[in-house]
Amino acid sequence: MAVVFDKPSLWQRVAPVFQGFDGPLALAVALLAGMGLLVMYSVGFDHGTRFADHGRNMLIAGAVLFTVAQVPPQRLMALALPMYMAGVVLLVAVALFGITRKGATRWLDIQITVIQPSELMKLAMPLMLAWWFQKREGQLRALDFIAAGALLLVPVGLIVKQPDLGTAVLVLASGLWVIYFAGLSWKLILPPVLLGVIGVVVLVSMEGDWCQPGVDWKVLHDYQKQRVCTLLDPTQDPLGKGFHIIQGMIAIGSGGVWGKGFMQGTQTHLEFIPERTTDFIFAGLSEEFGLLGVLALLAGFTFLVLRGLAIAIEAPTLFSRLVGGAITLNFFVYAFVNMGMVSGILPVVGVPLPFVSYGGTAMVTLGAGLGILMSIARSKRLVQT
């Protein structure tokens, strides 16, 4: 008697790979990616192959997201320490043998290609600290938080030395989120916050004296001092250091409520906005799509952050909750810092706008971060099924 076996269809063989993917998170990413492609088509249409390259970078980031999502959180936790150690070693190598471009030593030639190790720390840092606190779950002491702070400050210090303040801010934020979610007391959080507020007030009040030529700030490089002083008063050098901020604010203001229309941005297409496809692309979006376009973008990021936090809250382990929360709020930091610097309320530090700004390395890092979030979401759903 012959036995007949039903041959599974192609979808039946492929479906398990997609099982457990979080639909709302995927929708949030798709909406932001669609807005990014729309804006890039407009601001980069006469900028070589920027639009095509941006689309290619998104596809690569999507492949990275899909691949990382297949890795269970337990395996990610096992990779945390090796990734962190490799990142620190590479940062030390950059300090010793790195390639210098435009006054910054951020790259390392590994013969096959040139890499920027600081990008690795955006993911390695939250993974490492989440691993650290997972190992000490239920027996946390003050010394554990001090050790976590040391683990955070070593790579941040090496990145600041390059110098690369934008990446340093993102790595610092990713670590601080983990430490905060692990249970850091408000009594330890408030003093640095108050000192920061006092420092800003003093800086604003002393701007006239401290921003004079020849005044050495000691703790900052000259170009970093210039960025802060330009933020406080961009009209001091309107055709030099203040040009970026002034033109960005003009573009944002000229968009009004409705915007000038798709492909109709004069500040953008007449090239008044420097770096219009990278750091300052938010100015181009605001000019062409106005307040409504900005609100739509903010809604997309809000949707993404809320969904990411929901995934983190529902995660089954402390490691997953800490990593998920930190990576999610780093998207908030990305967007807040970029929009703030383009709007003239934060110094220009070179942080891209997620999914909208052009940049291959940053896009891949974002894709890997989203892949970790998707992995956390999948792990919970697969356990339930």
Model pLDDT for residues 365-379, shown as the tens digit of each residue: 999 999 999 999 988
C-alpha to C-alpha distance for 170 and 362, rounded to whole angstroms:
12
pLDDT of 187? 80
pLDDT band per the 50, 70, 90 thresholds, residue 191: confident
pLDDT of 354? 93
Share of the chain above pLDDT 70, in %: 93
pTM of the complete model: 0.88
Model pLDDT for residues 299-316, shown as the tens digit of each residue: 999 999 999 999 999 998
Model pLDDT for residues 204-262, shown as the tens digit of each residue: 887 777 787 777 777 777 777 777 888 788 877 777 777 888 888 888 988 899 999 88
As a three-state string, the secondary structure of the chain is: CCCCCCCCCHHHHHHHHHCCCCHHHHHHHHHHHHHHHHHHHHHCCCCCCHHHHHHHHHHHHHHHHHHHHCCCHHHHHHHHHHHHHHHHHHHHHHHHHCEEECCEEEEEECCCCEECCHHHHHHHHHHHHHHHHHHCCCCCCHHHHHHHHHHHHHHHHHHHHCCCHHHHHHHHHHHHHHHHHCCCCHHHHHHHHHHHHHHHHHHHHCHHHHCCCCCCCCCCCHHHHHHHHHHHCHHHCCCCCCHHHHHHHHHHHHCCCCCCCCCCCHHHHCCCCCCCCCCCHHHHHHHHHHHHHHHHHHHHHHHHHHHHHHHHHHCCCHHHHHHHHHHHHHHHHHHHHHHHHHHCCCCCCCCCCCCCCCCHHHHHHHHHHHHHHHHHHHHHHHHHC
pLDDT band per the 50, 70, 90 thresholds, residue 327: very high
Model pLDDT for residues 87-146, shown as the tens digit of each residue: 999 999 999 988 888 778 888 887 777 788 898 999 999 999 999 999 988 888 889 999
C-alpha to C-alpha distance for 272 and 283, rounded to whole angstroms:
11
Phi then psi for residue 106, to 5 deg, are -125, -10
A 10 A CB-CB count for 278 gives 18
- Neighbouring residues of 111: CB distance < 8 A, sequence distance ≥ 6: none
Nearest to 74 by CA among 385, 309, 382: 382
Radius of gyration of the chain (CA): 22
C-alpha to C-alpha distance for 175 and 326, rounded to whole angstroms:
7
Model pLDDT for residues 196-214, shown as the tens digit of each residue: 889 888 878 877 777 877 7
Domain ranges across the chain:
23-384
